[in-house]
Structure 1
């Protein structure tokens, strides 16, 4: 099991337990719903996305300043584009940051 897999699994567990949900399909969540989420949910999803977009050759390090910056950028983008799926918004913002 790679470190990326471990980080993704851990972040997914945190997000699901914090939200009280068994699953969270980011393709079905709109930016509008995401932007209105509580701060813990925003943090959990941002952490998961950070791991998801981590390169295979990247060091297994969580840069909390970067996660916070990217999470804030995602919330701002989502507030301006409320009908867009969160998965599409994340790909635009975080996919380019690889």
Structure 2
């Protein structure tokens, strides 16, 4: 199924993620636990970050909690091993719910472009995927269009390099389509 995003969103989905795990467009709700468990480490981590962003929106959280994310990944992977044919979305709802209490308070609305660009590659990618999941959930959209996401991510990075004091959500609103 092909679908275009109806709101501003961005993410850079690495070619390995698209080619090894998913197609050009993918309905994230259709990913089964067995597919998730079979993903190589890098695509699995990016998928997990996207899902964390999705559920953060669903629970109205505007912060990133790396420790909660790691705990949730462990819980979902455990649930998925017993339910290989179930949707990962169902696994998230059943194994962690959307009411888990966070410990960290890194409010993504306060992350500046300069701060984000200074993150290490893994943390920068985590925030990219988290934000994409968050904005997709806001649009009630579970379909990723990788080509569009790559274009939007490039535009946001270029904007951020020139506007380091702006917040990341401002960059997304100003540059992603």
**CA distance in structure 2 between the partners assigned to 1:94 and 1:69 by the alignment:** 9
Correspondence for 2:75 among 61, 73, 76: 73
Write out aligned runs for 1:28-39 (5 A).
28-39=30-41
What's the CA shift for 1:94? 3.8
The 1-side partners of 2:16 and 2:65 are apart by: 21
Residues 1:19 and 2:21 are matched in the alignment: no
Greater than 4 Å deviation, 4+ residue runs: none
Measured in 2, the distance between the counterparts of 1:18 and 1:97 equals: 32
2:28 alignment partner, SS class: coil
CA distance in 1, matches of 2:10, 2:97: 19
Superposition TM-score, scaled by structure 1 size: 0.70
Q: What 5-or-longer segments of structure 1 have no aligned partner?
A: none
Is the counterpart of residue 95 in structure 1 residue 93 in structure 2? no
How many residues were matched structurally?
88
| Cα RMSD for the two superposed structures | 2.4
- Select the structure of larger CA radius of gyration: 2
Give the Cα–Cα distance (whole angstroms) in 2 for the partners of residues 9 and 67 of structure 1: 20
